[in-house]
Structure 1
Amino acid sequence: MAVKWIGGHSSSVLCLNANTEGLVASGAEKGELTLWDGGGTPAGQLQLPEADDVTSVVFSPQCPTRLYASHGETISLLDVRSLKEPVEHFHVNEEEINCLAVNEADSFLAAADDSGAIKIMDLEKKKVIRSLRHSNICSSVVFRPQRPQSLVSCGLDMQVVLWNLQKARPLWTTNLQDCETDGLQSAGQFFNPPLAHSLSVASCGNVFGCGAQDGKVRIFRVTGSKFEQELEFQGHSLGVSQVLFMPEAYWLLTGGNDGKVLLWDVSSDVAKPQKSPAKSQQRRKAQTPASTRKNGKLTKVASDEQARILPKLTIEHGEKVNWILCTEIKGSKRVLVADQSSSVSLYLLAEP
């Protein structure tokens, strides 16, 4: 049963983030931004200018009182100790921003927008040092832990891209349509293409997950200047709107348009000695499409390996998931879920 945090918003909550001290920030439609204490009481509220939707909020990894929020084409820097007017505004994107990311060193900020652009700001110099680009809406961007100049992005062009800030061009690009095993497209692929919605990188920095519109979750491993797919499984009956690696090993949370939040353990598949490219290719061929779905139900399993990839926990949230967050509150891990409502839902997450 979910605990509801209410009273912070009047519109649909779109994004969540938490700092190292347990303070949670939520952004909503119409420019609403709220801070929450661990008990679910609003600790501060702000109406951002122009009433543009607050699409992403991210705390500084080095300074927990510093919060970045995107609304429209604007990035606002806020001081959570005094949540009044923004400390500073940055106008570096030409279209609505979908996702913000700050690297661990707190030196670079990435802002991905509807034009497909990813603007990289040097936070010390307060200027754009790189402009990267997808051919369609860029939906998610994330820096890799322990690698302050390396980041991964994805978009509605179905591309997943590895970047290094020392280069203006991608190091490696994969089209999710090309990831279909043996080049075969699943039934309905043309009507439900794998538009990429969300990314999350594991704490090791070398493994990342991607959620897409076709309901599938794909796990990739970075090797040097490229990456390859390690695993693919049907995560949800509708689009996967959110993926989130937990700090512990390789536990992955996913949220979907089907109203479910699922917890997966992919450690047995990714926490292995690295294979040669030839063996990896053979392994991918062995991972034939695990199932077909008819009327939203699993009807066929074609691989023992895929068949065992089942969620360790299923949360029947019931509403389309906009954002998921995992943070420790009162000594226990909680999953926070933002959806189409004006409240934030909390679920106690049992220890794996």
Structure 2
Amino acid sequence: MMMSNSWSGGHVTPVLCAAVSHGSEQLIATGAESGELTVWNHDGLPLSKLHVSSDDVTCVTFSPSVPTLLYASHGQTVSVLDGRNLKSAVTDVQDAGEDEINCLSVNKTGDTLAVADDSGAVRIVDLQLQKVTRTLQKHTNICSSVMFRPHRPQSLVSAGLDMQVILWNLPKVRPLWSFSLTDTLQDNAPPQTAGQMFNPPLAHCVSVTSCGNVFACAAEDGCVHLLRVSGDSRLWKRGVFKAHSQGASQAHFIGFLSHPYWLATGGNDGLVSLWDLSEDAVVANERTHKQHVRAHNKRHKAREKTTSLKQQTKEEEADGALSSSDTCGNIGPKLCLSHREKVNWICPAVLKGKPSVLVTDQSCSPTVYSIEKL
């Protein structure tokens, strides 16, 4: 039986979101309805609580550069707090969102915040100036998720209920590219059982691997859509696999297991699943891509030393484009947890030295599952 632990005493309303800091003084934060915000220790004991607003706390995230600095969204506002002591907000960024905020992401250098909201916009906040410096407008419906790419502090990906995944590169306000999840389904439609209603792939959550080149998007069709980009950020490969019998609400890559291609998903079917994507057709070549490039360049230089690096890149992309779309039909979860409640948020974390997944739902108590057997 899978070990689980319920954390109580932190909230009296349903918990909507969670985040974990990455410093030596590791903290866990959760946000709930009616403005409740709580910071926990690894034993599941509340360290500090704050009623930050009358609006729901829709997203929490810690700064990668200052691990105790906590950001919490409520309504159209982002509160900046000291995670060690939630007496009050250090400052508030008013009107950070044009409409209700759904997701926050801080870049690796800790100087820029991306805010996704119900208007469909992604707003960029300069955290030193504490103000919005630009607005990225391409989504035609709610923008549900946004994430900066690791190692690329000026590059971010967003996803929304318009079924679009969009890659941006700051300071430009026009996207590098946008991709409709319906295109993947048309190429690789997963088998559906008789009588099953088709749900459009409304994009709920996007995650990026630690290498920054593979995206996973959880969608309302119950599928996880995979996208892989090339070294110059062009869309290179795509695929899809069925993850949940109802809408998939969460997808998060896990960076602390045996390799960076472990993925945790959660859905409206009450399941939390762990997937090993290292051998998947869309991402498998990522593990050996650098070796392939070095070998290719060595052979190529031996044949013709005058070939430019730009031409090499084009040839490599042409090779990859031969299988630009793949169905991941044989993928199955390595671990499937019956949470029994609709999943609001998933937060992978190392708690007390053990790999774990923290799950929030419509209850007021987060649940922690140990995944150390993976």
TM exceeding 0.5? yes
Q: Which residue of 1 aligns with 2:68?
A: 65
1:196 correspondence with 2:200:
no
- Pick from 144, 149, 152: which aligns with 1:144? 149
Residue 329 of structure 2 corresponds to which residue in structure 1? 306
CA drift at 1:343: 0.3
Paired residue type of 1:60: S
Q: Decide which of 354, 362, 369 is 1:340's aligned counterpart.
A: 362
Query: Per the alignment, do residues 276 and 213 of structure 1 end up closer, same or farther by CA in structure 2, a change over 3 Å counting?
Result: farther
| Residue 99 of structure 1, CA deviation | 0.2
Report what 2:44 is aligned to. Answer: 40
TM-score scaled to structure 2, two decimals? 0.84
Maintained 8 Å contact 1:130/1:165: no
Tell me the amino acid that sits aligned with residue 253 of structure 2: F
Question: For residues 183 and 252 of structure 1, do their structure 2 counterparts lie closer, same or farther at Cα, with a shift above 3 Å needed?
Answer: closer
**CA distance in 2: counterparts of 1:182 and 1:213, whole angstroms:** 18
Other-structure match for 1:11: 13
| TM-superposed deviation, 1:85 | 1.6
> Within 5 A, what are the aligned runs for 1:76-115?
76-91=79-94, 92-115=96-119
Distance 1:129 1:268 in 2: 41
Aligned match of 1:267 = 278
Q: Between 107-116 and 77-86, report the one with greater CA deviation.
A: 77-86
Q: Percent identity?
A: 53
Return the alpha-carbon distance in structure 2 between the equivalents of residues 189 and 218 of structure 1: 20
Please identify runs of 4+ aligned residues in structure 1 that moved more than 4 A.
183-191, 273-282
Aligned residue pairs, count: 333
Per the alignment, do residues 98 and 208 of structure 1 end up closer, same or farther by CA in structure 2, a change over 3 Å counting? same
Pick one of 50, 55, 60 that aligns with 2:58.
55
State the distance in 1 between where 2:196 and 2:338 align.
Answer: 26
Of the structure 1 ranges 173-182 and 317-326, higher mean CA displacement relative to structure 2 is found in 173-182
- Amino acid aligned to 2:266: G
1:179 to 184, 189, 196: 184
Q: How does 1:131-280 map to 2 (within 5 A)?
A: 131-133=135-137, 134-182=139-187, 191-223=198-230, 224-247=232-255, 248-269=259-280, 270-272=283-285, 273=288, 280=320
Q: Which runs of 5+ in 2 are unaligned?
A: 290-314
Counterpart AA for 1:69: A
Q: CA RMSD in A?
A: 2.0
C-alpha separation between the residues in 2 aligned to 1:166 and 1:54? 29
Matches within 5 A, 1:274-289: 280=320, 283=323, 287=326
Letter in 2 for 1:222: V
Taking the aligned partners of 2:188 and 2:276, their CA distance within structure 1 comes to 27
Partners of 1:89 and 1:316 lie apart in 2 by: 38
Q: 1:183 to 1:218 in 2, by over 3 A?
A: closer
TM (norm. structure 1) is: 0.89
CA–CA separation in structure 1 for the residues paired with 2:197 and 2:165: 19
Distance verdict in 2 for CA 1:185–1:41, change over 3 Å: closer
| Unaligned residue ranges in structure 1 (runs of 5+) | 289-304
Note the alpha carbon deviations across 1:70-109, whole angstroms, 9 max, x for none. Answer: 0011100011232112111112222100000000100100
Matched residues in 1 for 2:318 and 2:189: separation? Answer: 20
Alpha-carbon distance between aligned partners in 2 of 1:192 and 1:34, rounded to the nearest angstrom: 35
Deviation of 1:271 (Å): 3.2
Q: Choose from 330, 344, 350 the match for 1:328.
A: 350
